[in-house]
Amino acid sequence: MEHRSLFEPTTLGSITLKNRIVMPPLTRQRSGQPGDIPTALMARYYQQRASAGLIISEGTQIEPRGKGYAWTPGIYNQAQIDGWRTVTDAVHAEGGVIYAQLWHVGRVSHNALQPHNAAPIAPSAIQAQKAKAFIETNPGTGTLVTPSMPRELSVSEIKTLVELYAQAARNALSAGFDGIEIHSANGYLVNQFISTHANQRTDEYGGSLHNRLRFLREVVQAVSAVAGPERVGVRFSPLFTSTDEDRVYIGFVEEDPHQTYIEAIKVLERAGIGYLSIAEADWPNAPDLPDAFRREVRSTFSGRIIYAGLYTAARAAGLVEAGLADLVAFGRPFIANPDLPERIANGWPLNALDAAGLYGGKEQGFIDYPRYSPSTSDVKQEVTV
């Protein structure tokens, strides 16, 4: 077996994970329409990848206003809960573990995606820059658009949003998920409250870093009260540098990202949640996270730590062996290789990614990637995300 450290079992709360390889949240835009309902096709997709130690679902919006991209699934009504139940049942039938990622895009949306064509909601009325929403133009077709100008939330509305996260957690457990991940990365709603780039409030939710972390604290507490903190994870994207690339989303580079995110991680540590997931910069030639930050993350947080980025299997194993990570997530390779853990363990080559099939559509580029079939011409190659 290659990269043996990735295949040592570990625990996540009361759950034993069979390996350290994670399938991270991957937006695929294939929910059933109308209604943004998870489908049997989605169940097949996740079931194919149940050999991961942990699957984290694609982001699923906690309410209609949380939607920033056409055809993404929700988890706020019974039809959606029932749809997700087909997914979790399929994964569990193969011995897999699956968490639901709770998602609210906040200002990274468009009037066309909002109920009654209203303005998106946000901590402050600041339009998102270097970000895109995706709207449907005709059935099955759509286009990327600049997010609309948002409106600022009132304090009472913020309190209601916290309860919407708690209700979404209840819905996820009802749908059979093993736990909850709170999406707090990539410039979406929770991240917007944390960042000075999006939050210019002067009340208890803005100004100081302590105040800007208040929404995160309240959401983590509310979701933990529903699921139990050991079944809760949070995802951050602590960027230390930016890029001029035209990207759908990227997130924020804070004035002091080290301090900002170490303080945010202290919130999670005090809450006693099960894991912290860190999404690293994933554009070509992106710099690595500073070693000092990785070390302080480990010394600050006592739960499980997941990293995701441009990892080779060897580099992922090295991070685990160094004690800096407990699990490592591989995104694009898991899209193209439903049997990714087996391929890593045996050094088998990877299927090529069908970029045209990433977002929207049906079976092509979704459930039609083959499992590995041995042949004498195979050449080993590194696994990257």
Q: Where are the alpha helices (DSSP H) in 128-256?
A: 155-174, 189-194, 209-212, 214-227
How far does Cα 112 stand from its chain's mean position? 24
How far does Cα 146 stand from its chain's mean position? 22
CA distance 81 to 353: 30
CA distance 17 to 11: 6
299 Cβ partners below 8 Å, 6+ apart?
none
CA distance 234 to 224: 11
DSSP-derived secondary structure letter, 370 = P
Question: In one letter, which amino acid is 312?
Answer: T
Question: In one letter, which amino acid is 37?
Answer: I
- Sign, CA torsion 108/112/116/118: positive
Q: Is 188 designated active site?
A: yes
> Is the distance from CB of 72 to CB of 58 less than 8 angstroms?
yes
Catalytic residue among 46, 99, 165, 188: 188
H or E stretch covering 341 = helix 340-346
The secondary structure of 174-201 as a DSSP string is HTT-SEEEEE--TTSHHHHHH-TTT---
Closest Cα to residue 304, out of 11, 7, 8, 4?
A: 11
The phi and psi torsions of 257 (rounded to 5 degrees) equal: -65, -35
Q: Give catalytic residue positions.
A: 188
